[in-house]
Amino acid sequence: MAVFKLEDFSFTYAGETNPALHDISFSVTEGEFLLLCGLSGCGKTTLLRQLKPAIAPRGRRTGEILFNGQPLRLAPPRSQAAEIGYVMQSPEEQAVTDKVWHELAFGLENLGLESRAIRLRTAEMASFFGIQDWFERDVSSLSGGQKQLLNLAAVMAMQPKVLLLDEPTSQLDPIAAADFLAAVKKINVELGVAVMMVEQRLQEVFPLADRVAVMDRGAILIDAAPRNAGLKLMQTHHPMARALPSAMQIAGALGGDSPLPLTVREGRRWLRGFLRDGAPAREKPEQESKEEGEPAVLMKDCWFAYEKNGTDIIRDLSLRIPKQKLFCILGGNGTGKTTALRLMAGLQKPYRGKIRVSGKVAVLPQNPQTLFLKSTLAADLADMLGFAENRDAKVKEIAELTELTALLGRHPYDLSGGEQQRAALAKVLLTQPDLLLMDEPTKGLDAHFKIRFSEILRTLMRRGVSIVMVSHDIEFCAENADLCALFFNGNVAAQGRACPFFAGNSFYTTAANRISREWFAQAVTNGDVVEQCEKIQG
Amino acid sequence: MKTNDFAKLHPVILFTYFTAVILFSMFFMHPVFLAISFFCGFLWAVSLAPRETLRFTLKCILPLAVLMTVINPMINHAGLTVLLYVNDRPITLEACAYGAASAAMFSSVLLWFSCSNRIMTAEKFISLFGRAAPSFSLLLSMVMRFVPRFKAQTRAIAEAQDGLGRGVDSGSLPTRAKNGMKILSILTTWALENGVITADSMRARGYGLPGRGRFQIYRFDSRDKWMLTILSALIFAVLFGFIKGENSIRYFPFLSLPPFSPFSFFLYICYFLLCSYPMLFNAVCEVKYHGGF
Amino acid sequence: MRKNSGLRPGFSVLSVVLLLLAPAAAILYGVYGLDNRKYLLVSLVILACAILSFFLLFEQRKPPARDLVTLAVLCSIAVAGRAAFFMLPQFKPVAAVVILTGVCLGGQAGFLVGAVSALVSNFFFGQGPNTPFQMFAFGLVGLLAGLFFRHARRKPKKLFLCVYGTLSVFILYGGVVNGGTLLISGLPLTPVSYLTVCASGIPFDLTHAAATAFFLFVLSGPMMEKMERMKRKYGLMQRDDDSE
């Protein structure tokens, strides 16, 4: 039986004439894992919210949404609240109360359950998720990934029949995201709860999904099994194809009759089949060459700890960052990446060692919202310049560079995540830095925005700006970085030009490299693998 | 003290206890009662946090107590027993005694509050209102969630400003104040705008449905029942004595204490038991559950 | 909200009971009274009743999620905002936030934010005998701000806000809290001792008042704009506007 069934559903926001969603017909069946994807602004969140009336935006609706065979609008509020679980993007803002136990109990309190029943259900959920040790902790003491898991558990405590997830991992690092997705899959498989998930990380979610729906400009473009959906996206050259799992993209570009692979494991098998004849022996990665010239940043034997006699966060770090290059710092949490960035920015001073930075430094903070002050973007940008001459011209110029010209009249908080990121970048660039430091700039950006973002970075480098970014986004770094460094335990474990750097790592590398490393030593991006294969094929 | 079993009692008991003891300490100006309250409060505060209490006593309580003892006779000239004249104003024995009593009263109140701050956490306090005032208790719990988050965000904003080359802890006083305003303004926008997400998250989880309940993480067990009974008995005994005028004292125009009787002795015992209740309770628990001292 | 819930029978009965409690306690204590301590008890009872009746009023409204979040946000800004001025001790934005709440969202919200901010702030800095007086004083500052400025057709002038801020903090807040200190300390209740207590607090109260005026001068414009945006965009605290 279908949990949700939409029949010719259309929706227009209050005060607007063009429908945000039109003629949508599809269904979610019991126990199904449905992935909903599409470019930013295609209406996927709008659609997801329609399925949860308590938070559906105001506007005009036509068509019908059936929930368990009954019109959703007639379902009693209590069952809407309990049976439809909804988890949002931000781990921070979703948590309402100060204690973990209270957060778990919050929904059940709203349903008016007895204390005894609440105790049982929270205990059950905490044990299911393995978070019983946190039960009496403060929510603020949890990490981002733990908070999001708590948000999921708090929704699950209400025992929903269907779980709606709106980009739940976009604010998490890869390891926390994997944990979260594993928990969702566990819920889906072990509890039989239907899942409908909006997500950017197609690489990880595609293999989990039973079915994939792709949205485009308010309509459902594709609704098929993951392999078929991927195939259709690539055949139509849809921009979303750039976000598909690497294995799929490589196989799709090379063609062939065998079904598309989804995971690295399947990709490897597929590539073995493809290269059956003429598989070349693995060549050695090329040695890196020494960088010459005046560096943008020079760190020598730096040591740093936040507290006197505290643990050293940075240990004996020496780093040379060349000018006009994109230098990416990768590594797990707590390895000192962000701290190194703060040292370069001069926000902290090492207790031993030297740092030399040439030129003016500016930092793009991880959360762009820490910068917005005024009520329009134009005023906000102008505020950076004080009473400088030709202020408006400068604002215009920077808005053009960051592709924000059309949005200058908007309130910064009315922009989407990707637009906010660029607005923050514009603000930072108005200080005319020679060295731009960025902390996780691609967090939460979709594939399309990432491409635009990397174009902006290239333009900046051409204009003489050197860029250092801290990132968890291996794929982005492999595509765009000139140089990479892997941080571990407050020091650099490996560094070099992007291509040999990733080729030299075994685990900490791109999916394309993991698929193809047996055959190609230098293939790091999907494009590299396809190119190498085509070379062999002649 | 190895363990603090008293702190594990139900919040209702803790709240009743502290309210009673602090109010009694505030209102009973009888020297014996003052002495009992001060002695027990000090002892318990020391056993809870020796170093902090000693520092607090020396740096804060002692100067205040001295000040109050001195100031009282300076501005209060009532009383019949004149000790000496300063600027033609009489300094009386009664005023001096009253000043000393006030100092003792104020010191013990502060000591009891310092104990209460260690035992009566915000979480316990909030849970008290769970049933009677669910919205208010939720509001408090949300504020407790937001405050640390806002503090962290304030630091992030300050650092973001710093990263733009606009340091906040440098410059003249007006510049620093202006930078502070900027941070506060950015924080406010951020908090109000993102509050909408929190509100959505609440509604998505059924907030606003009729018949909201409240989960009590603290269970009122049989031990709590017994302890509350004992506590109430002690409180009523002391209150009874208060109505009988046993612990009242008159300072002006001349000192007059109520006559000493077996009943007053009984009251002193009760008040002592009340004030040393947490320490006695902990001692009993230490022997019973944790195998002696 | 003033209109709607003020007339609910449940609330009126409770508030009448509460407000009758105060004089009853006063009389009771007058009979058994001990020196001047009775004034402390009476004032504590009155304070408790006043604070409780506002909390009850709030409870009666069954605040919707957005109102509740906004109130929590404002209280938290009042408490955590201090961190923005880590480089300037004694600069506390509590009074300014409370006043602006009263102006934008009404007196009841002002009282609530004031009282809760004082309470929660003391959770972090330690509760003391002054807590109820501080709660009441900040509440009063917010309540009166609402009563004075809420009905103005236009936005209140910045100058008036600053004057109100200075006076309310210095006279209302300072007056109530110093009065509380006097009552607790056990000094004789004479004008001389009241002035002594006030004098000891003057440097603190003056800084507080000046800081509040400064906050209001700089922040009132942007803060009101932000709150207006919230009202417009998300329909915040709308019901009481509709009824007026």
Is B143 in Cβ contact with C120 (below 8 Å)?
A: yes
Write down the pLDDT at residue C38.
Answer: 73
Q: Which residues of C touch A411 (CB under 8 A)?
A: 229
pLDDT over threshold 70, residue A68: yes
What CA–CA distances, in Å, run from B134 to A73, A247, A414, A512? 29, 53, 33, 54
Contacts 24+ apart (CB under 8 A), B1-6: B1/B47, B1/B48, B1/B282, B1/B286, B2/B286, B2/B290, B2/B293, B3/B282, B3/B285, B3/B286, B3/B290, B4/B48, B4/B119, B4/B282, B5/B281, B5/B282, B5/B285, B5/B286, B5/B289, B6/B119, B6/B277, B6/B278, B6/B281, B6/B282
Chains with 3 or more CB pairs under 8 A to chain C: A, B
pLDDT over threshold 60, residue C2: no
In angstroms, the separation between the Cα of residue C229 and the nearest Cα of chain A is 9
pLDDT over threshold 60, residue C238: no
In angstroms, the separation between the Cα of residue C171 and the nearest Cα of chain B is 24
Write down the pLDDT at residue B54.
Answer: 93
What CA–CA distances, in Å, run from B155 to A362, B47, B143, B175, C141? 17, 36, 18, 18, 29
Is A347 in Cβ contact with B159 (below 8 Å)?
A: yes
In angstroms, the separation between the Cα of residue A140 and the nearest Cα of chain C is 14
Write down the pLDDT at residue A103.
Answer: 95
Report if residue B210 sits inside a domain.
no
Number of domains in chain B: 2
Q: Calculate mean pLDDT across residues A336-348.
A: 90
Q: Which of A86, A94, A96 to mutate to test the interface with C (most CBs of C within 10 A)?
A: A96
pLDDT over threshold 60, residue C8: no
Q: Which amino acid is at A129?
A: F
Domain boundary among B204, B235, B253: B204
Q: Which residues of A touch C226 (CB under 8 A)?
A: 375
pLDDT over threshold 80, residue C15: no
Is B169 in Cβ contact with C187 (below 8 Å)?
A: no
Does one domain contain both B114 and B223?
A: yes
Is A375 in Cβ contact with C225 (below 8 Å)?
A: yes
Contacts for C191 with CB less than 8 Å, ≥ 6 apart: none
Write down the pLDDT at residue C149.
Answer: 84
**Phi, psi (degrees; rounded to nearest 5) at A307:** -120, 150
pLDDT over threshold 60, residue C10: no
Q: Residue C3: pLDDT band by 50, 70, 90 thresholds?
A: very low
pLDDT over threshold 70, residue C20: no
Cα B198 from Cα B190, distance rounded (Å): 12
Report if residue B211 sits inside a domain.
no
> What is the layout of strands, in order, in the sheet containing A466-470?
A361-364, A435-439, A466-470, A326-330, A483-488, A491-497
**Phi, psi (degrees; rounded to nearest 5) at A316:** 50, 50
Q: Which of B222, B229, B134, B17 is nearest to A115 (CA)?
A: B134
Report if residue B84 sits inside a domain.
yes
C89 vs B132, which has greater pLDDT? B132
Domain boundary among B204, B227, B257: B204
Angle of the A526-537 helix axis to the A246-254 helix axis, nearest 10: 30
Does one domain contain both B116 and B188?
A: no
Length of chain A measured in residues: 538
C26 vs A402, which has greater pLDDT? A402
Write down the pLDDT at residue A78.
Answer: 92
- Please report the number of interchain residue pairs, chain A to chain B, with beta-carbon separation below 8 angstroms: 161
**Domain coordinates of chain A in residue numbers?**
2-226, 245-276+511-538, 295-510
Q: Which residues of B touch A95 (CB under 8 A)?
A: 145, 201
Q: Calculate mean pLDDT across residues C154-171.
A: 88
Q: Are C104 and C152 in contact (CB under 8 A)?
A: no
Angle of the B11-27 helix axis to the C37-61 helix axis, nearest 10: 150
Cα A200 from Cα A168, distance rounded (Å): 9
User: How do residues B101-130 score in pLDDT, each as one tens digit?
Assistant: 999 999 999 999 999 999 999 999 998 888
Is C80 in Cβ contact with B150 (below 8 Å)?
A: yes
SS3 label, residue B215: coil
Return the CATH superfamily for domain A295-510: P-loop containing nucleotide triphosphate hydrolases (3.40.50.300)
Q: Residue B142: pLDDT band by 50, 70, 90 thresholds?
A: very high
Contacts for A301 with CB less than 8 Å, ≥ 6 apart: A316, A317, A318, A352, A353, A354
> Which structural domain, as residue segments, surrounds residue B153?
133-204
User: How do residues A173-205 score in pLDDT, each as one tens digit?
Assistant: 888 999 999 999 999 999 999 999 998 888 899
Q: Residue C56: pLDDT band by 50, 70, 90 thresholds?
A: confident
In angstroms, the separation between the Cα of residue B9 and the nearest Cα of chain A is 16
Write down the pLDDT at residue C17.
Answer: 60
Angle of the C131-149 helix axis to the C94-105 helix axis, nearest 10: 40
Report if residue B212 sits inside a domain.
no
Chains with 3 or more CB pairs under 8 A to chain B: A, C
Write down the pLDDT at residue C236.
Answer: 64
Q: Calculate mean pLDDT across residues A215-224.
A: 92
Architecture label for domain A2-226: 3-Layer(aba) Sandwich (3.40)
Does one domain contain both B61 and B195?
A: no
DSSP letter (8 states) at residue A138:
B
Q: Residue B132: pLDDT band by 50, 70, 90 thresholds?
A: confident
Report if residue B117 sits inside a domain.
yes
What CA–CA distances, in Å, run from A425 to A463, A466, B168? 15, 14, 21
Q: Residue C6: pLDDT band by 50, 70, 90 thresholds?
A: very low
Look up the ipTM and state it: 0.91
Q: Residue A284: pLDDT band by 50, 70, 90 thresholds?
A: low
First to last CA, chain B: 9
- Percentage of residues in chain A having pLDDT higher than 70: 97
Q: Calculate mean pLDDT across residues A58-67.
A: 91
Q: Residue C7: pLDDT band by 50, 70, 90 thresholds?
A: very low
Across A215-224, A329-338, B139-148, C135-144, least confident range: A329-338
Is A345 in Cβ contact with B163 (below 8 Å)?
A: yes
Does one domain contain both B74 and B169?
A: no
Q: Calculate mean pLDDT across residues A75-97.
A: 93
Q: Residue C240: pLDDT band by 50, 70, 90 thresholds?
A: very low
Q: Calculate mean pLDDT across residues A384-406.
A: 85
Does one domain contain both B233 and B119?
A: yes
Q: Calculate mean pLDDT across residues A330-346.
A: 89
SS3 for chain C, per residue? CHHHHHCCHHHHHHHHHHHHHHHHHHHHHHHHCCCCHHHHHHHHHHHHHHHHHHHHHHHHHCCCHHHHHHHHHHHHHHHHHHHHHCCCCCCCCHHHHHHHHHHHHCHHHHHHHHHHHHHHHHHHHCCCCCHHHHHHHHHHHHHHHHHHHCCCCCCCCHHHHHHHHHHHHHHHHHHHHHHHHHHHHCCCCCHHHHHHHHHHHHHHHHHHHHHHHHHHHHHHHHHHHHHHHHHHHHCCCCHHHHHC
Question: How are beta strands B89-92 and A162-166 bridged, if at all?
Answer: unpaired
- Percentage of residues in chain B having pLDDT higher than 90: 55
Write down the pLDDT at residue C4.
Answer: 38
Q: Calculate mean pLDDT across residues A332-341.
A: 88
Across A418-427, B215-224, B251-260, least confident range: B251-260
Write down the pLDDT at residue C244.
Answer: 28
Write down the pLDDT at residue A279.
Answer: 62
β-strand partners of A326 = A467
Q: Are A304 and A347 in contact (CB under 8 A)?
A: no
Write down the pLDDT at residue C43.
Answer: 83
Q: Residue B163: pLDDT band by 50, 70, 90 thresholds?
A: confident
Tell me whether domains A2-226 and A295-510 share a fold.
yes
Write down the pLDDT at residue A248.
Answer: 93
Q: Calculate mean pLDDT across residues B243-252.
A: 78
Domain boundary among B179, B204, B229: B204
pLDDT over threshold 70, residue C145: yes
Is C225 in Cβ contact with A411 (below 8 Å)?
A: no
Q: Which of A196, A192, A191 is nearest to A209 (CA)?
A: A196
- Percentage of residues in chain C having pLDDT higher than 70: 77
Contact of B226 with chain C, judged by CB distance below 8 Å, is answered with no
Q: Are A509 and A524 in contact (CB under 8 A)?
A: yes
Cα A150 from Cα A81, distance rounded (Å): 18
Which tokens go with C196?
């002594």
Is A113 in Cβ contact with B145 (below 8 Å)?
A: no
- Rounded to the nearest 10°, the torsion over CA A146, A151, A152, A158 is 140
pLDDT over threshold 60, residue C31: no
In angstroms, the separation between the Cα of residue C226 and the nearest Cα of chain A is 8
pLDDT over threshold 60, residue B241: yes
Q: Calculate mean pLDDT across residues B27-37.
A: 91
Does one domain contain both B63 and B108?
A: yes
Q: Calculate mean pLDDT across residues B234-256.
A: 84
User: How do residues B84-100 score in pLDDT, each as one tens digit?
Assistant: 888 888 888 888 998 99
In angstroms, the separation between the Cα of residue C138 and the nearest Cα of chain B is 16
Report if residue B86 sits inside a domain.
yes
Q: Calculate mean pLDDT across residues B42-65.
A: 92
Write down the pLDDT at residue C1.
Answer: 36
Q: Calculate mean pLDDT across residues A51-68.
A: 91
Write down the pLDDT at residue A220.
Answer: 93
Average pLDDT over chain B, rounded to an integer: 89
Q: Where are the beta strands (DSSP E) in A178-275?
A: 194-198, 211-216, 219-224
Does one domain contain both B58 and B95?
A: yes
Q: Residue A504: pLDDT band by 50, 70, 90 thresholds?
A: confident
Is C87 in Cβ contact with B180 (below 8 Å)?
A: yes
User: How do residues C90-140 score in pLDDT, each as one tens digit?
Assistant: 678 899 999 999 998 888 999 999 999 999 999 988 899 999 999 999 999
Contact of A140 with chain C, judged by CB distance below 8 Å, is answered with no
> Tokens 């909201």 sit at which residue?
B212
Helix or strand run (H / E) with residue B47: helix B31-48
Report the residue of chain C nearest A55, measured CA to CA: C65
Write down the pLDDT at residue A347.
Answer: 87
Is B142 in Cβ contact with A96 (below 8 Å)?
A: yes
> Tokens 């606009």 sit at which residue?
B166
Cα B44 from Cα B62, distance rounded (Å): 17
